[in-house]
Copies of this chain bind each other. A is one copy, B any other.
Amino acid sequence: MPRNSPSDARRGRRAAQEGARPSVQDVAKLAGVAVGTVSNVLNNPDRVTEFTRRKVEAAIAELGFVRNFAARTLVAGTTNTVGLVLVDIGNSLFVDIARGAEAATAASGLKLLLANSDVDQAKQDAYLELFDQAQTAGLLLAPLDGPLDAARAIARRGRPIVVVNAPAADPDMCCVAVDEQLGGYLAAHHLIAQGARRLAFVGGPLHLHAIRDRLDGARQAATEASLDLTVIETHALNVRDGRTAGGNLLRQSRRVDGIVCASDPLAVGVINAAAERGVGVPDDLVVVGYDNNHLASESLIPISTIAQPGLRMGEVATQLLLEETQNDPDHRHQTVVLEPHLIARRSSQRRRPTTNRLRTP
């Protein structure tokens, strides 16, 4: 016994043609079933007869039905989507973080949406709010070096949020950080091991936590070796500032022979300045960059650098987020600190390394 008249089916078809997007109602009418059945076909196919399923699927195909995500979300109260707000989509570290997060979310059947705050606090907060309003399962934030109030507010409202690459721990949220000080230390220590004795640090602005930490680490390594460390604060982390700083350093009478740069572009600039002055890299001057950007490995003189574990940062952050999402009762907010590592390339590899500070049995 047919449960609905042919006119019902006709109406469903018409709705689609008239531009209004078909709903489960339309599909149900066309297929001659109840809306609940359509929903079951979509969400619990095994609760439905093969025959019914076919009918419904045919109707879906005929109408070009697409689920309304908003309605789903409204009922469910949440989504299977994670939002990631990035401070700078042009920086390969953040791209790596995004990749890591993508991999980890995809492995859990979640979608990852990105937003680029473009080093703008207002935009950052706006996108955080958007994701919060959109009922995302959780949020990831690779923030700029500023207040995290908006993120903290979201965390306190109960939406899971994990901060990646942030300077400090926080009682309200999980964080994933990198030991920047260790990075600076590794860089300087490496140069000293290569025989450098007159060290300099190039980077800035120093009000940025990360940069200051890197400087502190470098300074510690220098102090341990009883060496001085000249500091040149730059305005930005780009090639031009590196060239300027390098030029200034190499012009001085007591020339430096080892430079720790707070970024790879700075290192490129320093090396360019050295080339202009006929200072040989690595023979007369050893240089280390930071971040392992593409240009470090692809430069004519491959640049030694401190590599940040971007992919792992994204993965770990997502892991922490998922833990929190699953409402693990004994989840405690924590800060995971990952370690950077040195990638030694040509820019710091003396052909005739001094034996100084090399341990021999």
- Give A contacts to B, CB under 8 Å: 19, 21, 64, 66-74, 81, 89-90, 92, 95, 98-99, 102, 106, 111-116, 118, 123, 126-127, 129-130, 132-135, 153, 156-158, 239, 265, 268, 271-272, 275, 294-295, 297-301
Contacts of A132 in B (CB 8 A): 66
- Distance in angstroms between the alpha carbons of A295 and B95 in the assembled complex: 16
* Contact assessment for B157 and A21 in the assembled complex, using a CB-CB cutoff below 8 Å: yes
- For residue A15, give the distance in angstroms from its CB to the closest CB of chain B: 13
Contacts of A129 in B (CB 8 A): 66
- Distance in angstroms between the alpha carbons of A116 and B153 in the assembled complex: 28
Task: Choose from B67, B73, B89, B297 the contact partner of A98 (Cβ within 8 Å).
Answer: B89
List the B residue with the shortest CB-CB distance to A158.
Answer: B19
- Distance in angstroms between the alpha carbons of A111 and B300 in the assembled complex: 40
- Distance in angstroms between the alpha carbons of A92 and B133 in the assembled complex: 31
If A67-B133, A134-B69, A299-B300 touch, whether A112 touches B115 (CB-CB below 8 Å) is: yes
If A66-B132, A300-B301 touch, whether A89 touches B114 (CB-CB below 8 Å) is: yes
If A89-B114, A239-B298 touch, whether A68 touches B64 (CB-CB below 8 Å) is: no
- Distance in angstroms between the alpha carbons of A111 and B133 in the assembled complex: 13
- For residue A40, give the distance in angstroms from its CB to the closest CB of chain B: 19
Contacts of A133 in B (CB 8 A): 66-69
* Contact assessment for A102 and B74 in the assembled complex, using a CB-CB cutoff below 8 Å: no
Q: Which 6 A-B pairs have the closest CB atoms?
A: A70-B73, A69-B133, A114-B114, A300-B300, A69-B134, A70-B74
- Distance in angstroms between the alpha carbons of A123 and B107 in the assembled complex: 13
Contacts of A68 in B (CB 8 A): 74, 133, 135
**A90, A92, A113, A129 pick with most chain B CB within 10 angstroms:** A113
- Distance in angstroms between the alpha carbons of A265 and B295 in the assembled complex: 9
Task: Choose from B111, B116, B158 the contact partner of A115 (Cβ within 8 Å).
Answer: B111
- Distance in angstroms between the alpha carbons of A153 and B64 in the assembled complex: 9
Contacts of A81 in B (CB 8 A): 130
Contacts of A67 in B (CB 8 A): 133
- For residue A14, give the distance in angstroms from its CB to the closest CB of chain B: 15
* Contact assessment for A265 and B298 in the assembled complex, using a CB-CB cutoff below 8 Å: yes
* Contact assessment for B114 and A115 in the assembled complex, using a CB-CB cutoff below 8 Å: yes
> Can you report 27 residue pairs joining A to B where beta carbons are below 8 Å apart?
A21-B158, A64-B153, A66-B129, A68-B74, A69-B70, A69-B73, A69-B130, A70-B71, A74-B74, A81-B130, A89-B89, A89-B114, A90-B95, A90-B99, A98-B116, A99-B116, A99-B118, A106-B123, A113-B115, A265-B298, A268-B298, A271-B300, A272-B300, A294-B294, A298-B299, A299-B299, A300-B301
